[in-house]
Amino acid sequence: MSKYDHNKIEKKWQAKWEKSKIWQAPKVAGKKKFYALIEFPYPSGSGLHVGHVRSNTAMDIISHKRRAEGYDVLYPIGWDAFGLPTENYAIKTGIHPAKVTKQNTDTFRKQLKRIGFSFDWSREINTTDPEYYKWTQWIFLQMYKKGLAYKSKMPINWCPVDKIGLANEEVVDGCCERCGSVVEKREKEQWMLAITKYAERLYNDLDGVEYLEKIKTQQRNWIGKSEGAEINFAVTFDNQPKAQDGSLAVFTTRPDTLFGATYLVLAPDHLFVTLSLTHKGLLNNEDAVRAYAKAAKNKPEIERTAEGKEKTGVRLEGIWAINPANKEKIPVYIADYVLAHYGTGAIMAVPAHDQRDNEFAKKFDLPIRQVIEPTYSQTTEPGKIREGEPFDHREAIIAVVKHWSEDKYIGLKWKQVAWGTFITGGIEKGQTPETAAKAELLEEVGYKNARFVKDYGIVHGKFYHVPKKTNRNSHAHMVYLELENDERVSVDTKEEAMHEVMWLTKAELAKFLTADTHQYFLKVLSGNGGIYTDYGTLSNSSTYNRMESAEAMKKIVDEVGGKMITTFKLRDWVFSRQRYWGEPIPMIRCEYCGLKNPETLGWIPVPEKDLPVKLPNVKKYEPTDDGESPLSTMEKWLRVKCPQCKNWARRETDTMPNWAGSSWYFLRYVDPKNKKALADKTLLKKWTPVDWYNGGMEHTTLHLLYSRFWHKFLYDLKLVPTSEPYIKRTSHGLILAEGGAKMSKSKGNALSPDEIIKAVGADTLRVYEMFMGPFGESIAWNTNNMVGVKRFLDRIWRLQDIVQKKEVADVNHALHVCIQKVGGDIEEMKFNTAVSAMMVFVNEVEKKGVGEKQLATFLRILAPFAPHITEEMWSVLGNKKSIHLEKWPKADKKFLAVSEVTIMVSINGKMREQFRAATDTDNETLEKIARTIASDRLKDQNIIRVIVVPNKLVNFVIK
RNA sequence: GCCGGGAUGGUGGAAUGGUAGACACCAGAGACUUAAAAUCUCUUGCACAGUAACAUGGGCGUGUGGGUUCGAGUCCCACUCCCGGCACCA
């Protein structure tokens, strides 16, 4: 057989496939359908990247397998072509962005086709096509009509270089995601989308989809649902004693700590602060407050939130709040660690039980009051709580007793039960924790002279008291004693029978103590107990003392007239961009109508029949100096008759962010040429939802959330059949440059697939990218390793020299193991081990030979990975139809079974001998053989146990 | 600081609690060749004992320290470092 000429053969089949439209999905999906989706690429000027190849190949393989399993498969491709890089390039070169886009998409298309992906090219879409963005605008109008799109003057992130407003999600480390310049705050009229109205559903519906767990977690964290309480604090003013109506609402997730709230903190831009400043004389330190608020406002969020940042703040002098629980008059501060847009923009500070409040209180010397006592429940034996049984309550002590001269402490090793504890005991009538501790010490150990050092407060322990056979809740004072000398009395024999006295160092105690409460005491003693932020048992809280957090929360909120509420971290989506290369927002501002209906502020939606609002063809795209869109200078375009009153009006000149077009593109693939609707409903019902969507982790919070939001909205309009767009979402790892650095244009280390394909072929590139490592993890490119894959494919090509008509029975087992492994691995995206399984098969076949049918079966499972070489070899074997139309082979149980297995013989878990035995040999026989084989080693040994695992091992435990 | 993910030979990596290092790369030795490339065969975790050389033998070894288990890369606890994301989120 001649050498495999990858360039010639790959191009040959690509041309044939294109001509036969082999990958074209049927217009209407049949009963078994599979919609495979990859994130459509942004056609950048630098062309396709090897990273694109990785994710595209993965979904290509899955699509191929589904076709072979009899599914109607839709695997579409298109271009997410609006965006800043193209616009910036156009500004620099003077070439129209539409033209740049055309060039780039042409390059991408050519490159993708040269890799042999099984895309349905007949459905290619482009977000910059007016026929496409007509529907992007149409969806926006529907949102406007439902009150989800609104214009609002508010502080936004402003990039002074790009001259656009950025969504919060687009700000990276306080800098513009695209240009890297520091983002400022600026007031601007912006179109907003009320994604927060969908927060609850976006959060809850994650339960019903098959996203990778880490993706769900990231979405949940971004949405940030938290349940808590809103509580009102009355406010009084020193300088206006008669003003009674002031009050401040705070949001807290820990209303159980209300009695420990010793001051309030407001965001520096809280409305209350602004109003207080307008009332002259209300504050005693107006200037300081004003200065701090101003500084905080101009400070980028990154500095407010920087790691290890020292807490800052200013007191609102002359203003007091009343803690509604204990009526205490407490001071009010402003500090930049509190954000105006989360919760109510105000917090009650509980410095004893919150890390940040604690730091702040220490810096400003504010009272710290403990109101939660640590509480532990034993969840493991011995002492695991018996569910449903009542608790007996006991006032108690835990006593740490230090040695008179050494740094050692008394530990009690219990004899009836595997406990290690400090000295414990109850507090009897008339005893204080101190006297109780001393009495226990004398009684249990006999030491007479101990000095009381400190009572560290109470720790609650819920456990099952094994000797006493009851659930116990012990409320124990942590008492620290130091022995003055070794003077000792003899101890009751009964006590002695209970436990053994040990002298232990702190390190030894950490291993020795079995109860969480005692471990906690040890931590406190070592000074690293920190502040206690968990739920626990209340103290210093009036009638709520001894109540546990969960119960106390509700009761306290009730008592002070607060309400339980749910808040989200998610914020509304800033939808305006002052740029040229985006979808024009289809709104018209009419002064006349505006006067008639102040509620709309004069905004009139463009009538649907007038869509799309096309971008005007102009020569300059630079944003204007005042930050307005370039469209604002195009008088001819923006002057328009008001659709309602027919007077002259102006178009909205802002455009949409590039996330708009990608929020619904997967719907358009289903019916890409539809002129009457975004897609036909029947077709949507047949094809959607997307069965499997693979993309990058970097799109988990922006694109994924936005598109789920739009889809839910369309579902509410009954335009799409399901409330979630994607059944399954997975993610791929990045490909790094050789050496592990991130590939980027600026570093000049980005790899283009073109030269690679020329040198080793598309099949090699595809298989290498699947073989290089776990699909979900980032991995560095390694040209050396690719050579191994090239060799692998060449060896497969040479199998044609050894293939024989007759089946080689000897390789059936290997073949079917391979079928099984490859099929399973594809489903789990474990492509690297799938490739390695095929390598193992080829190694085997080279030794043993292979029959034509067997080779054909192997080629079938390799075909999704390497579609060209397999198609060629398939046709050389005499097949007329494409290999890609063949059914997926099934692993035959008959061939998977093995008659003999290797049994290990191990001694104390260390492998010593091995032998072969028939599959499913019974345990007795295995043990007998093992005893014989290892007889030398077992001679004179005390075998205390033998473990036999069928088909695996025999382990002798000797002493 | 918080949230995710990770750490295994010279390298990429493999391994339902059961022979750690599959499969590759690199390296070394050999075959073929006038020669080289290509290809093929063999060796290849570390250190040691052993042998003329093989054979062989036990020891160590999956970031660190503990634990559970007959048996741990895998499970549990604590920690270190690296990567990604982020919101000081009350």
What pLDDT digit, counting tens, does each position of A540-565 carry? 999 999 998 889 999 999 999 988 88
Out of A29-38, A350-359, A771-780, least confident range: A350-359
Half-sphere exposure of A477 (CA within 13 A, CB side): 21
For residue A634, the model assigns a pLDDT of 84
- Nearest protein residue, CA measured to C1' of B25: A785
Q: Which nucleotide does the CA of A914 lie closest to, via C1'?
A: B19
Model confidence at A740: pLDDT above 80: no
pLDDT tens per residue, range A561-600: 988 888 888 888 888 888 889 999 999 998 888 777 777 7
Model confidence at A755: pLDDT above 80: yes
- Nearest protein residue, CA measured to C1' of B15: A833
Q: How far is the CA of A947 from the C1' of B71 (A)?
A: 10
Find the helix or strand (DSSP H, E) in which A553 lies: helix A549-559
C-alpha to C-alpha distance for A202 and A219, rounded to whole angstroms: 9
Q: Which of A379, A715, A404 is nearest to A514 (CA)?
A: A379
For residue A567, the model assigns a pLDDT of 85
Place of tokens 């040479």: A798
Q: Between residues A695 and A601, which one has the greater pLDDT? A: A695
Amino acid making up residue A861: I
Q: Cα dist. A738→A201, A735, A741, A749, A832 in Å?
A: 43, 9, 7, 9, 19
pLDDT tens per residue, range A661-699: 999 999 999 999 999 999 999 999 999 999 999 988 778
The distance in angstroms from the start CA to the end CA of chain A is 64
> Secondary structure of A771-810 in the HEC alphabet?
HCCCCCCCEECCHHHHHHHHHHHHHHHHHHHHEECCCCHH
Among A225-239, A264-278, A681-695, which range has the highest average pLDDT?
A681-695
A422 — phi, psi (to 5°)?
A: -80, -175
pLDDT, average across residues A71-75: 97
C-alpha to C-alpha distance for A831 and A330, rounded to whole angstroms: 62
A604 — phi, psi (to 5°)?
A: -120, 130
Q: How far is the CA of A785 from the C1' of B48 (A)?
A: 34
- Using DSSP bridges, classify how beta strands A314-322 and A226-237 pair: parallel, antiparallel or unpaired: antiparallel
pLDDT, average across residues A915-936: 87
Q: How far is the CA of A872 from the C1' of B37 (A)?
A: 27
pLDDT, average across residues A313-328: 92
For residue A440, the model assigns a pLDDT of 92
For residue A169, the model assigns a pLDDT of 47
Q: How far is the CA of A802 from the C1' of B40 (A)?
A: 15
Q: Between residues A843 and A418, which one has the greater pLDDT? A: A843
* pTM of the predicted model as reported, rounded to 2 decimal places: 0.86
Q: How far is the CA of A351 from the C1' of B88 (A)?
A: 14
A546 — phi, psi (to 5°)?
A: 75, 0
Place of tokens 């397999």: A870
Model confidence at A305: pLDDT above 60: no
**Contact between A905 and A954 (Cβ < 8 Å):** yes
pLDDT, average across residues A812-834: 95
CA torsion sign, A296 to A300 to A303 to A304? positive
Q: How far is the CA of A818 from the C1' of B56 (A)?
A: 36
Out of A193-202, A615-624, A825-834, least confident range: A615-624
Q: Between residues A142 and A497, which one has the greater pLDDT? A: A142
For residue A151, the model assigns a pLDDT of 87
How would you class A478 by CB atoms within 10 Å of its CB: exposed for 0-12, middle for 13-18, buried for 19 or more? buried
Q: How far is the CA of A906 from the C1' of B61 (A)?
A: 19
Q: Between residues A741 and A603, which one has the greater pLDDT? A: A603
Q: Which nucleotide does the CA of A265 lie closest to, via C1'?
A: B90
Model confidence at A78: pLDDT above 90: yes
pLDDT tens per residue, range A412-444: 887 777 677 889 889 999 999 999 999 999 988
Q: Which nucleotide does the CA of A349 lie closest to, via C1'?
A: B90
For residue A198, the model assigns a pLDDT of 92
Give the other-Cβ count within 10 Å of A516's Cβ. Answer: 20
- The percent of residues in chain A predicted with pLDDT above 90, rounded, is 47
Q: Between residues A804 and A740, which one has the greater pLDDT? A: A804
- Nearest protein residue, CA measured to C1' of B78: A510
C-alpha to C-alpha distance for A227 and A309, rounded to whole angstroms: 28
Among A240-254, A371-385, A660-674, which range has the highest average pLDDT?
A660-674
How does residue A323 score in pLDDT terms, banded at 50, 70 and 90?
very high
Q: How far is the CA of A841 from the C1' of B34 (A)?
A: 38
> Would you call the peptide bond into A324 cis, given omega within 30 degrees of 0 as the criterion?
no
Q: Between residues A627 and A720, which one has the greater pLDDT? A: A720
Model confidence at A614: pLDDT above 80: yes
Q: Which nucleotide does the CA of A169 lie closest to, via C1'?
A: B86
Positions of chain B reached by protein Cβ under 7 A = 1, 3-6, 11-16, 18-20, 22-26, 38-41, 58-59, 66-67, 70-72, 83-90
Find the helix or strand (DSSP H, E) in which A956 lies: strand A953-958
For residue A745, the model assigns a pLDDT of 59
For residue A25, the model assigns a pLDDT of 96
Q: Which of A784, A789, A791 is nearest to A769 (CA)?
A: A789
Average pLDDT, chain A: 87
Amino acid making up residue A437: A
Model confidence at A485: pLDDT above 60: yes
For residue A68, the model assigns a pLDDT of 97
pLDDT, average across residues A37-47: 89
pLDDT tens per residue, range A161-220: 767 666 554 555 555 656 666 667 777 788 989 998 999 999 999 989 999 888 888 888
C-alpha to C-alpha distance for A892 and A883, rounded to whole angstroms: 21
Model confidence at A300: pLDDT above 60: no
For residue A241, the model assigns a pLDDT of 67
Q: Between residues A879 and A361, which one has the greater pLDDT? A: A879
For residue A587, the model assigns a pLDDT of 94
The ipTM value here is: 0.92
Half-sphere exposure of A46 (CA within 13 A, CB side): 16
C-alpha to C-alpha distance for A660 and A663, rounded to whole angstroms: 5
Q: How far is the CA of A160 from the C1' of B1 (A)?
A: 29
Indicate the angle between helix axes A97-114 and A84-93, nearest 10 degrees. Answer: 120
Give the other-Cβ count within 10 Å of A325's Cβ. Answer: 21
- The percent of residues in chain A predicted with pLDDT above 70, rounded, is 92
Q: Which nucleotide does the CA of A224 lie closest to, via C1'?
A: B89
Q: What is the DSSP string of A355-407?
A: HHHHHHHHHHT------EEEEEE--SSSS---TTPPEEEEEEEEEEEE-SSSS
Q: Which of A72, A66, A55, A68 is nearest to A115 (CA)?
A: A55
Bridge partner list, A588: A604, A651
How does residue A243 score in pLDDT terms, banded at 50, 70 and 90?
low
Q: Cα dist. A164→A85, A302, A303, A491, A817 in Å?
A: 14, 19, 22, 82, 57
Retrieve residue A260's tokens: 């420990």
A768 — phi, psi (to 5°)?
A: -60, -45
Give the other-Cβ count within 10 Å of A744's Cβ. Answer: 12
A829 — phi, psi (to 5°)?
A: 55, 30
pLDDT tens per residue, range A520-540: 787 777 665 557 777 889 999
Place of tokens 């009332």: A279
C-alpha to C-alpha distance for A672 and A686, rounded to whole angstroms: 15
Q: Which nucleotide does the CA of A840 lie closest to, via C1'?
A: B23
Model confidence at A308: pLDDT above 50: no
Q: What is the DSSP string of A457-506?
A: EEEEEEEEETTTTEEEEEEEEEEEEEESS--B----HHHHHHEEEEEE-H
For residue A103, the model assigns a pLDDT of 93
Q: Which nucleotide does the CA of A254 lie closest to, via C1'?
A: B90
